[in-house]
Structure 1
Amino acid sequence: MKYRSVFDIIGPVMIGPSSSHTAGAARIGRIARLLFGSTPHRAHIEFCGSFAQTYRGHGTDVAIVGGLMDFDTSDPRIKDALTIAKDIGLEISIAVNDSQGEHPNTAWIHLANETRGITVKGISIGGGKIAILETDGFEMNLTGDAWTTLVFHKDHFGMIASVARVLADHRINIGKMEMSRKAKGKDALLIIETDQEVNETVGTEMKRFKDVALVRILPPL
């Protein structure tokens, strides 16, 4: 693994005893919230492996719920996240998932409101670093380290070129791009990491393309 700074080794400024189980969990929760687009009404969280065994003692549950309410890793409100969630009407349920073959620090998060829902799979890999591996059946490797644009669309020729043209017109450089699709010609997801900020004007231009269902813009965490 390539480290960009000393903070990648010693971990982030955080509330809690463990960068993997607390700071990482908070970041997973924050990205899940960003993917959903707002604070959900309901959240069902399933912990696997080490998360499942130690989530109460290490504060993984309060950290991930804090992340769902957009609390940063250093936010002192994290320790009271379950109470705050109850106060704002965010229903939380937590379960242990004993599925074999999962990363030791895996969380499945199911978010919903009255009209829609989303399922996100995230892992904490140490030092507060995380990866989102799946969103609603789309495979990915989303770290939250860069500006990231996600374009949900129908798979057909020209989509990548059209989206890339919008970024080029705004002088935004692409650092990494990957495509995830459920089947040829079916639902697809374009994931683009960029060197510069992507604002809502760029997202609005992308949304105008035929067969684009949704655009999500995620800032670096």
Structure 2
Amino acid sequence: MRFKNVFSIIGPAMIGPSSSHTAGAVRIGRFARQLLGSAPTEAAISFYGSFAETYSGHGTDLAIVGGILDYRTDDERIRHSLRDAAEQGVRVVFFTGVLPGTHPNTVKITLTSQDGRHTEVMGASIGGGTIVIRSIDGFEVKSSGELPTLVISHADRQGVLAGITAMFSRENVNIGYIITDRKGRTAEALTVVEADSSVPPELMEAIGSLEHVSRVAYIDLTR
């Protein structure tokens, strides 16, 4: 068996009893927070599978909210993240549900910003603190959050992907992984790019200025 990273062997530095139910949950919450790009005012959190059955007892609720507050996996503040969220004016609501065909440790997070923007992330904690993001704002994707990641909203038009990859090449940033989903031909699309190194602001600005690109978000869970 090959291990992708050190998390697969010893797990991450973390607060809580379980790398799957706490550390992985923190990372999914941070992914959603960084995707939104600002502190949310509302967070709707839906647990599925074993998360739905044990989220309170295993501290998964604290972990997800800690991530939404952009706490790292080893941040002591995770223990009182629900209190912190309330003090910061973040309204948190929990739901449980059944979602056949998904990983047992699956959560959907919907965040709302003060200016009314929404973002929705569905991800799974698959062990050792490792996560897989399965959908973003209704688009089917796959992202591990292990590398600096750009999430790019754009119209499905000829030349957009070529423009994005050309910008990476121009800034000497290597693409480790890229995936695109679209609502239909010439409709809305979403591209997720994982880079082998940090993404400089100039690259984000260049991609954001491309024709048909409407939004660029940067996620870096190593920060």
Q: State the TM-score, normalized to the length of structure 1.
A: 0.96
Judged with a 3 Å threshold, the aligned counterparts in structure 2 of structure 1 residues 174 and 99 are, in CA distance, closer, same or farther, namely: closer
What residue number does 1:22 align with? 22
Report how far residue 210 of structure 1 moved. Answer: 1.2
1:98 Cα deviation from its structure 2 partner: 2.2
What fraction of aligned residue pairs are identical, expressed as a percent? Answer: 43
Q: Residue 198 in 1 paired to residue 199 in 2? A: yes
The offset of 1:220, in angstroms, is 4.1
Match of 1:103 in 2: 103
Could you tell me how far apart the structure 1 residues matched to 2:126 and 2:217 are? 24
Question: What is the CA deviation profile of residues 131-178 of structure 1, one whole-angstrom value per residue up to 9, with x for unaligned ones?
Answer: 110011111111111111121100011111111111111111111111
Structure 2 CA distance for aligned equivalents of residues 163 and 154 of structure 1: 13
CA distance 1:54–1:188, change in 2 (3 Å)? same
What number of residue pairs does the alignment pair up? 221
Q: Write out per-residue CA displacement over residues 87-133 of structure 1, whole angstroms, 9 at most, x where no aligned residue.
A: 01000000111233321101011111242111110100000000110
Q: 2:79 matched to 1:90?
A: no
Q: Which runs of 5+ in 2 are unaligned?
A: none
Kept after mapping to 1: 8 A contact 2:30/2:71: yes
Unaligned stretches of 5+ residues in structure 1: none
Residue 179 of structure 1 deviates from its aligned partner by 1.2
Determine the structure 2 residue equivalent to 1:42: 42
1:62 aligned residue: 62
Kindly state the Cα deviation for residue 5 of structure 1 after the two structures are TM-superposed.
4.1
TM-score norm. by structure 2 comes to 0.95
Relative to structure 1, the CA distance from residue 77 to residue 205 in structure 2 (aligned partners, 3 Å threshold; closer, same or farther) is same
Matches within 5 A, 1:174-189: 174-189=175-190
Give the equivalent residue in structure 2 for 1:112: 112
Distance 1:112 1:94 in 2: 15
Q: Cα 1:5–1:153, aligned 2, differ >3 Å: closer, same or farther? A: closer
Whole-angstrom distance in 2 between the partners of 1:96 and 1:139 = 21
Q: How far apart in 1 are the matches of 2:168 and 2:191?
A: 13
Residue type at the aligned position of 1:26: V
The structural deviation recorded for 1:7 is 3.4
Structure 2 contact 122–135 (Cα < 8 Å) conserved: yes
CA distance in structure 2 between the aligned counterparts of 1:35 and 1:71, rounded to whole angstroms: 15
Deviates more, 1:192-201 or 1:133-142: 192-201
